[in-house]
Amino acid sequence: MLQKNQIVELKITDLSYQAMGVGHYQGLTIFVNNALPGETVRAKLLKVKKKFAFARIEKILVESPDRVKVPLRQWLQTGLASLAHMTYDRQLEFKRQQVVNLLEKAHLEEQISVSQTLASPKPVRYRNKAQVPVRQVRGQLEIGFFRRHSHDLVPMEDFLTTAPGIDQILVKVRDILRQYQVPAYDELHNRGQVRYLDVRRSQATGEIMVILVCRQKNFPQLEAVVHRISKLPKVVSVVLNHNPDKTNVILGKHDYVLWGQQQITDKIGELKFKISPQSFFQINSLQTPRLYQLAIDKAELGPTDTVIDAYSGIGTIGLSVAKRVKCVLGVESVEPAVRDAQANAKLNGIDNAEYLCGKAEVVMPQWAAEGLQTDAIFVDPPRKGLTPEFIKAAVATDPAKIVYVSCNPATLVRDLQEFAELGYETDQIDPVDMFPQTPHVESVTVLERTEK
């Protein structure tokens, strides 16, 4: 019987969906942090269960040709960039294989092909947003990321994936908080002040919004801290997000602009978008236009088509497609996002896109009952995917095509099976790398109405 702290020698044969090396020993599957297929490692067991175990590398005996040197081990310790030790070409193939594996598990590999993963223009320094926890470490306020599978903060100053300028702002704000002795959040006792730093940067304009996620709406040092942050280069907005609850959720419900602008402006292609503190906006500014262009091209839309933009957010997909079609109807359950979408339509001179507040699974059947003829539905849901109610509501509008932009291949494959039962099928999935150095993979799938 294997025991914790035991040293074993393993041949790594595969990667898990979380990018952990997979080996086998005495019938037990062992997941090894930062190990790559083809490697032989000496590993120390950290946790042993009945059918599997977790381990860390003590020594690499045979190294994979796909391994690259990682300058900062914190990137791998935290999972911030858990594929940073792998060549980028191999990362792209790993992401494609994730989709293939899920299709095989669902017995769909013969019906649905998977394209090569569309590479990101930049594999590092691509994020336009960073949310980093603030904690007390060895008596000092620190920023960083949590160690994998824990809430232990690993202090960091270089976050690898964030766009130029964001890391510097994070470090300077950290130093300001230290100077004014602002207490970092203590999640065990739900005390202290600053929980997270949330920094958003416009790729188009360079504008930076700094969001202090705080336990209280006010504290003695706040005015001085905001004044100092407002003097940092490119900062145009300082916001306090109030999150008083003992929770793992990063952002609270209420934002207070303490200085500067309410929003920053970014672009997707030639379109401008106003972005509020909690607006969803794709984090890879260079890859997003390519993702949307792929989805639009695959949809093969025409000038007489009517399109529904479900989960429409601030209107990024719907407004990107508007000039190709007769009209776009967007539906979104978050009221501030709807207001942003309406404002973004005006900002770009688009008058054939309308955005309504409501749940898509309720609104779409109403549109269908009113006689709306829908040619295509675009949907870009969160990681949990689509609900059965949404899928039925989408099919009820009888579109010729459903364009599914997914950030989770597991829920995508599940939903494709549900759509197939209702007469909508696909023969291809196109993976897109929106998150280099991580295991996450985005994809575009076009489902078409069949005779069923």
Q: Which residues are catalytic?
A: 407
Nearest to 166 by CA among 264, 291, 272, 242: 264
- Close Cβ partners of 44 (under 8 Å, ≥ 6 residues apart): 5, 6, 7, 55, 56, 58
137, 144, 178 from 159: Cα distances, Å: 18, 8, 20
Nearest to 36 by CA among 71, 61, 5: 61
Token pair 């065990």: residue: 188
CB atoms within 10 A of CB 277: 22
CA distance 446 to 444: 7
CA distance 85 to 357: 44
Q: What are phi and psi of 88, to 5 degrees?
A: -65, -40
Nearest to 429 by CA among 104, 123, 127, 124: 104
CA distance 236 to 169: 12
Check if the beta carbon of residue 362 is closer than 8 Å to that of residue 356. Answer: no
Q: Do you know the residue count of the chain?
A: 452
Token pair 């005015």: residue: 223
In this structure, the dihedral spanned by the alpha carbons of residues 132, 18, 428 and 297, taken in order and rounded to 10 degrees, is 10
Helix axes 360-369, 388-396, angle to 10 degrees: 20
Nearest to 90 by CA among 116, 59, 127, 63: 116
Nearest to 324 by CA among 292, 355, 347: 292
